[in-house]
Amino acid sequence: MKLFTSKAGKKRASIMTARAILSILAAVALVIIAVGNGQAIDAPHHAGYSIQCLNCHQPHKALGSNLTRAELNPLVCQGCHNPLGLGKYFPMQNSNRAVPGVKGNTHYWMMSANAPQWGATPPTRTYSENHDTDMDTRLDKSDPSNPKVLCSTCHNQHDNSNRWGRTHLSQIEQLDGTGSTGKIHYSVVDHQAKPQTYHVFIVNSGSTGEATYVISDGSLDMAGYIRWFGWNGSGWIPFTGRNAKTDASSMPRQTGSSQHLMDGPNITITFDTSSDSFRTGDHFRFYVGYPFFRRAHDGGPNQEPGNRGQGSGFTTYFCRNCHSQRAQSHVDVETWTGTPRSHPVGQWLGSNGKGYDRHVPLDADGKTQSASYPNSPDGNWTNDLLLFKRGTAGDPKYPTVKATAFGTPEPGSDDNYDVQCMTCHAPHFTDSNSLTVDKR
């Protein structure tokens, strides 16, 4: 049977065929773009550390919800975060889960969210406008009467772009050329550096000032190859394709000190002049990241008009979203009713007007803190007692709440620096010894 017999019919058929071909080509182009640039994950949970979707997800016959490879969310995380895995520098072992005053150094997971002995209840404030920041839906509710805390209750493993929490500086790994004696160091501008993986590859051997190198950010081009960058004398130029590293190596940069990478002055790299030399083929890797918080850490007062989930004005809830019983003011503490009291949070130093608080806290060991992160005077930034900025008037719905070691708060100001839970506490790798540097 012929569908079209007339010239007009054949013309319509040709037009329909052409449209179909264009539609198919458009779909294929979208797929290619998705494969090439669809890294819906940030450093270090991305291709720079050989991490792809299928590391955690299984399209068919998945054991866990959201098509995860393991039945429970913590088991997925522990697949890498173990002493021998890709996340070996942050091993989340069950034996490290803390029982306050007894053992452990990290916040408990797979525990009941109803824990009145620790002042905890299931998250009460939700962000109806932004599901990604909602904590309640990330509880394990296989037993509805006893919801349990998971890793993803507090962390969003797919999104590190908000830069919530302190900047995390990874250790520098040497992937190739282990016979070399060359060393590199790097520094960042806290909260300005974007989450990113960096590869440093030595092109020509020599000491610092003689050896040359190229870099990569670990990202993939549209064909799925890792991008590499060469130096044109004033900036980094990207190279793509199968031979990207080779092509970039034709434009290497001379090693030196405090050299900018792709993120401008936010991150600089220094090649150690005290080390003997670098060798061709030396390959180093490190990343700049953040704690993958699901929402901005606590900022602003404990109560705000309307009691909205994300806070009216400059209030956000993170620890206080579960530990609301700990969210007490100086008025609560100074008024005894027989109910256990906690140190005030959500208030600036000196807010009770009695004049005995410092404007700027000292370090945990009594030394003056440094505003230059992570260069604390005692060499240990993990014992800094931080105040938390409430935010800026530019974005009251999702305020930019950032930690700072300094700040003289003014009563009534929208830029107050408050005492919050994480002024004194940290959720992971906290040994309660202010003289040691913790893993963060």
Cβ distance 253 to 209 under 8 Å?
no
Helix, strand, coil shares of the chain as percentages rounded to 5?
20, 20, 60
The two structure tokens encoding residue 247: 């092509």
Cβ distance 194 to 48 under 8 Å?
no
Q: Which amino acid is at 359?
A: H
Strand order across the beta sheet in which 403-404 lies? 347-348, 417-419, 387-389, 403-404
Give 33's contacts (C-beta < 8 A, 6+ positions apart).
222
Which SS3 state, helix, strand or coil, does residue 36 take? helix
Per-residue pLDDT at 400: 37
Q: Note the maximum CA span of the chain.
A: 95
Q: Which amino acid is at 201?
A: F
The two structure tokens encoding residue 92: 């989340």
- Residue 199: inside a domain, yes or no? yes
- Residue 371: inside a domain, yes or no? no
SS (H, E, C) 144-197: CCCCECCHHHHECCCCCCCCCCCCEECCCEEEECCCCCCCEEEEECCCCCCCEE
Q: What is the enclosing helix (H) or strand (E) of 423? A: helix 421-424
- Single out the residue of 340, 386, 347 nearest to residue 363, CA to CA: 386
CA dihedral 233, 285, 97, 153 (to 10 degrees): 60
**Cα distance between residue 210 and residue 252, in whole Å:** 11
Could you tell me how far CA 272 lies from the centroid of its own chain?
28
- Residue 336: inside a domain, yes or no? no
Cβ distance 270 to 178 under 8 Å?
no
**Cα distance between residue 384 and residue 363, in whole Å:** 5
Cβ distance 39 to 219 under 8 Å?
yes
CA dihedral 50, 171, 262, 168 (to 10 degrees): 100
CB-count exposure of residue 232 (10 Å: 0-12, 13-18, 19+): exposed
SS (H, E, C) 93-116: CHHHECECCCECCECCCCCECCEH
Compute CA distances 200 → 74, 100, 207, 212, 284, whole Å: 32, 42, 15, 10, 5
- Single out the residue of 100, 201, 110, 167 nearest to residue 404, CA to CA: 167
Per-residue pLDDT at 415: 53
For the chain, the residue count is 440
Per-residue pLDDT at 153: 93
- Put residue 57 in one of left, alpha, beta given phi > 0 → left and psi -120 to 50 → alpha: beta
Number of domains observed in the structure of the chain? 1
Per-residue pLDDT at 236: 96
The two structure tokens encoding residue 272: 């150690």
Backbone angles phi, psi at 261, to 5 degrees: -100, -150
Domain that holds residue 227: 168-289
Place of tokens 């440093």: 200
Cβ distance 198 to 287 under 8 Å?
yes
- Residue 53: inside a domain, yes or no? no
Q: Across the 440 residues of the chain, what is the mean pLDDT of every consecutive 10-residue run? A: 44 49 40 40 83 90 87 91 90 91 91 89 72 86 93 91 79 82 84 88 93 92 92 96 96 95 91 83 91 83 54 70 89 87 87 81 73 65 75 37 41 63 88 80
The two structure tokens encoding residue 284: 């180093």
- Residue 438: inside a domain, yes or no? no
Cβ distance 186 to 193 under 8 Å?
no
Task: Write down the pTM of the prediction.
Answer: 0.80
Helices (H) and strands (E) in the chain, counts: 7, 15
